[in-house]
Amino acid sequence: MVSQILFIVITLAAIALFSYNLKKVIRNIRLGRAANRSDQPQKRMMTMLKVAFGQTKMFFRPIPAFLHLIVYAGFVIINIEVLEIMIDGIFGTHRIFGGLGTLYNILIGSFEFLALGVWLACAIFLIRRNVLKLKRFSGVEMKSWPRSDANYILITEILLMTAFLTMNAADAKLQAMGLGHYTAAGAFPVSQFLQNLLPDTAAGLIAIERGCWWFHIIGIFAFLNYLPYSKHFHIIFAFPNTYFSNLEPKGEFTNMESVTNEVKAMLDPSFTPPEAAPGRFGAKDVNDLTWVNLMNAYTCTECGRCTSVCPANITGKLLSPRKIMMDTRDRMEEVGKNGLEDGKSLIDTYITREEIWACTSCNACTQACPINIDPLSIITELRRYAVMEESQSPASINTMLGNIENNGAPWKYSPSDRFNWAKES
């Protein structure tokens, strides 16, 4: 009875804490400007199913994709196990689904294989990060926290899987002893090999079984509440993020409506622009970005696939699209806590001018991102701010803009010479 009450209290506390943190995240995303992403619901649904659920974009790199798929499947499927744990925890039952008989055996058996798969995949991931030191996982932005984040999670997963298998092994032994509470249920194709490592006394086994059971469920709650602080938030946000992702051709940049009205008024004096709320052109800070940009930042897994294909980054320039996403997230968290008036801004405090001017707008980053994040639109907004609000662009860019304005071409040629190519030889 005591343990049931304890379990309920812990569960409620974990859920409450998670909702509290999730609310903060949603509040931060709401700092962003409006963006309409409610069109074409069917296409959006398909995109989500393909990209987030089916992980199609991961498969450009087949080996990590395969390992990731195991961990992902493990995560999704083992949730059925968690459901059982919850019911057992609340009602003090043992393997409540055991009544399903053969089906249950198949379920538990396959969970065990999955658990082993997850265990191995995480071990390989750890080696890749820490021993092989893939270039993708380093970079200026991958210091301290972002660097350890993945390791913490991988180690936690390994511990959780170990606990799960050990628990099953102890349970199977107890079941074999015919102890009342431990009714025989489940098949244990993997954990049977751990049985010899465990003690033979009922008391010892019960201690281990209970210990692992508690460790497993508390571990899951801890994981849940770690998410909002981690790149692993993507296990939740990948779904809305792909649903609301950009469906237009990648080459298309948004037309700024506020500008359209002003330009129309300039070209046609009889045009009276509709009353518009005065806003800033482009983005100086996170509140000038759209909520999609901000959701992108929470979804970013810091995998660095974008940065590893960025031509600017490849050739040693300061720009890293992953850093753009991480900076946006960090700044958003800061603004969420302290507000906007702290003398800082996304541009300059976090992202330098050198970074934004190095982008060729090639869309390699958006193409490479496995969850349809769009770092380029943030870069574009920052440039818009620099150019339209501050008139601060590299001198040669100013020259080019001046030429377009005066001659209708980015170079200093006379418009009357525009057709010369057809006449001269």
Binding site for other proteins (CB under 8 A): 60, 248-253, 255-256, 259-260, 262-264, 266-267, 281-282, 309, 311-312, 314-319, 354, 357-364, 366-367, 380, 383-388, 393-394, 396-397, 399-401, 404-405, 408-411, 413, 415-422, 424-425
Q: Which residue matches tokens 């194709």? A: 189
Footprint (CB under 6 A) of ligand SF4, residues 282-341: 300-306, 310-312, 319, 321-322, 325
DSSP string, 239-251: HHHHHTS--S-TT
Extract the tokens encoding 154.
Answer: 């991988």
Distance (Å, whole) CA 376 – CA 250: 10
Binding residues for ligand SF4, rule CB under 6 A, total: 28
| Per-residue b or e along 71-81, where b marks 16 or more CB atoms closer than 10 Å to that residue's CB | bbebeeebeeb
What is the closest distance, in whole angstroms, from the C-beta atom of residue 316 to other proteins in the complex? Answer: 3
Footprint (CB under 6 A) of ligand SF4, residues 355-384: 359-365, 368-369, 371, 373, 375-376, 379
Closer of 75 and 281 to other proteins (Cβ): 281
Q: Give which of ligand SF4, other proteins, none residue 251 binds (C-beta under 5 to 8 Å, depending on kind).
A: other proteins
Closer of 220 and 379 to ligand SF4 (Cβ): 379
What is the closest distance, in whole angstroms, from the C-beta atom of residue 94 to ligand SF4 in the complex? Answer: 41
Instruction: Measure the CA angle with vertex 249, ends 397 and 351; round to 5°.
Output: 45
* Residue 232 within binding range of ligand SF4, rule CB under 6 A: no
Closest CA to 372 of 229, 240, 256: 240
What is the closest distance, in whole angstroms, from the C-beta atom of residue 370 to ligand SF4 in the complex? Answer: 6
Query: Nearest 5°: phi and psi at 360?
Result: -95, 5
Q: Give which of other proteins, ligand SF4, none residue 375 binds (C-beta under 5 to 8 Å, depending on kind).
A: ligand SF4
Q: Give which of ligand SF4, other proteins, none residue 197 binds (C-beta under 5 to 8 Å, depending on kind).
A: none
Closest CA to 200 of 217, 179, 227, 180: 179
Q: Give which of other proteins, ligand SF4, none residue 36 binds (C-beta under 5 to 8 Å, depending on kind).
A: none
**Contact present, 139 and 322 (Cβ < 8 Å):** yes
Q: Is 226 exposed, middle or buried (0-12, 13-18, 19+ CB in 10 A)?
A: middle
Distance (Å, whole) CA 26 – CA 12: 21
User: Could you tell me which residues come within 8 angstroms of residue 330 by beta carbon, excluding any fewer than 6 positions away?
Assistant: 350
Closer of 170 and 310 to ligand SF4 (Cβ): 310
**Contact present, 256 and 381 (Cβ < 8 Å):** no
Q: Give which of ligand SF4, other proteins, none residue 424 binds (C-beta under 5 to 8 Å, depending on kind).
A: other proteins
- List of residues contacting ligand SF4 (CB under 6 A): 300-306, 310-312, 319, 321-322, 325, 359-365, 368-369, 371, 373, 375-376, 379
